[in-house]
Each structure stands twice: as structure tokens, then as C-alpha cells.
Amino acid sequence: MKNRIAIFPGSFDPFTVGHESIVIRARGLFDKIIIAIGSNSSKQSLFTMEDRLGWIRDIFRNDEKISIISFQGLTVDCCRNNSAGYILRGLRTSSDFEFERAIAQMNRTMHPEIETVFLLALPEFSHVASAIVRDIIVHGGDPSIFLPSAVKIKSVKG
Ligand code: ADP
């Protein structure tokens, strides 16, 4: 049987307790989870790639099942380059679902060998969003309750 390797793609700008919860819950479903930070030229990030890679590396430092990479381009190509047969995504709301459904179905049409697996957000994390965390940070608030303790915000870009 082939290894069950999943890519968990996202911007993780920054990585939140919601993202962490998806990885921890999916851990038992796969042999390996590769957290893959996409660098998307049309989406300006608040945090550098180095910060985002470093935080996630710290969180899962002692877990040999979890690794972390950055990638450019299509998630399906990232899967093929890493021999991953699964894309892992989290769903918080019906708008997440509508957005994810189109991408997953188009990906499946092009690459039927790659399956997308969704986990529903836990109710206690379904309101947690990186975009709102960024707003809190930019306006000088304290977002720490929404962040794993390894995510230490020192400064922001620009
Ligand atoms: P993207 O820019 O690809 O949406 P994100 O970093 O915002 O990347 O999210 C990565 C994945 O994590 C997505 O599948 C998203 O739905 C999921 N996610 C984000 N926040 C949460 C949360 N609070 N609970 C569960 N899943 C989440």
C-alpha cells in the first residue's frame, strides 16, 4: 500500500491555533503531513516566509510525522513533487466550503489520483482566522490567545 502522505497547504500568515488543531487531528489519519506554505505573488503576506517556516518548525520540532516546506505554483504540483496523494484542508464556514469545493473538484478533474480531505473546524476554533489576527496585530492588539505559544510576534514587515 502506498504511503499516506498529505500536503496541508496554506498561507499561514500567521499559523493559528485553528491550523494547529487541524494538523493534530489529521496526524492519526496519515503517515506523514507536510505543511506547505504557498508563496502567492498576488497575495502580499504580513510575515516573512522565514518567520512562518520558523514558527511552524518550532511547533512540530519533536514530531517526525510533520514536516514543513515552502512552495510556489499549484498545490497539485507540490503534491506530485513530494509524492503526496492527499491535500488536507480545514472548513470553518459555508463560504469556506463553497470556495474549497470548486478547487477540490477542479483539482480532482485534472488529477484524480490526488484526493482532498476536509476536516471541520472545532467549534471553539471556527471563528479563528489569520486575516483577523493580522488586523489585531497591525492595530497594536494582543493576538496571543489565537496563536500557538511558539508563534512569537516581534515585528511585522514594512
Ligand atoms: P489559504 O490562504 O490557503 O486559505 P490559510 O492559511 O488561511 O490559507 O488556511 C489554510 C487552511 O487552514 C485552509 O484550509 C483553511 O480553511 C484552514 N483553516 C484556517 N483557519 C482555520 C481554523 N480556525 N480552523 C480550521 N481550519 C482553519
The enclosing domain of 17 has a CATH number of 3.40.50.620
Question: Residue 3's pLDDT is what?
Answer: 83
Ligand 1 touching residue 22 (CB < 6 A):
yes
CA nearest to 29, candidates 8, 15, 10: 8
Estimate to the nearest angstrom the gap between the alpha carbon of 117 and the chain centroid.
13
Instruction: Kindly report the number of other CB atoms within 10 A of residue 70's CB atom.
Output: 14
Residue 115 in domain: yes
Residue 156 in domain: no
What pTM value is reported for the model? 0.95
Per the residue annotation, which of 25, 92, 108, 134 is the catalytic one? 92
Work out which ligand 1 atom sits closest to the CA atom of 88: 14
pLDDT by residue (tens digit) across 1-53? 568 999 999 999 999 999 999 999 999 999 999 999 999 767 789 999 999 99
Question: Residue 157's pLDDT is what?
Answer: 58
Ligand 1, atom 27: closest residue by C-alpha: 90
Ligand 1, atom 3: closest residue by C-alpha: 10
Residue 23 in domain: yes
Residue 158, pLDDT above cutoff 60? no
CA–centroid distance, 133 to ligand 1, in Å, is: 13
Active site residue 111: no
Mean pLDDT, to the nearest integer, of 70-92? Answer: 97
Residue 143, pLDDT above cutoff 60? yes
Residue 90, pLDDT above cutoff 60? yes
**Domains held by the chain: number:** 1
Ligand 1 touching residue 96 (CB < 6 A):
yes
Ligand 1 touching residue 134 (CB < 6 A):
no
Going by DSSP bridges, is the β-strand pair 115-120/86-91 parallel, antiparallel, or unpaired? parallel
Task: Give the 3-state secondary structure percentages of the chain, helix then strand then coil, rounded to 5.
Answer: 40, 20, 40
Ligand 1 touching residue 52 (CB < 6 A):
no
The Cα-based distances of 155 to 23, 48, 79 in angstroms read: 26, 10, 32
Judged by phi (left if over 0) then psi (alpha if -120 to 50, else beta), residue 73 lies in left
Residue 154 in domain: no
CB 86 within 8 A of CB 116: yes
- Quote the domain boundaries for residue 65: 5-146
Mean pLDDT, to the nearest integer, of 80-108? Answer: 97
Residue 154, pLDDT above cutoff 60? yes
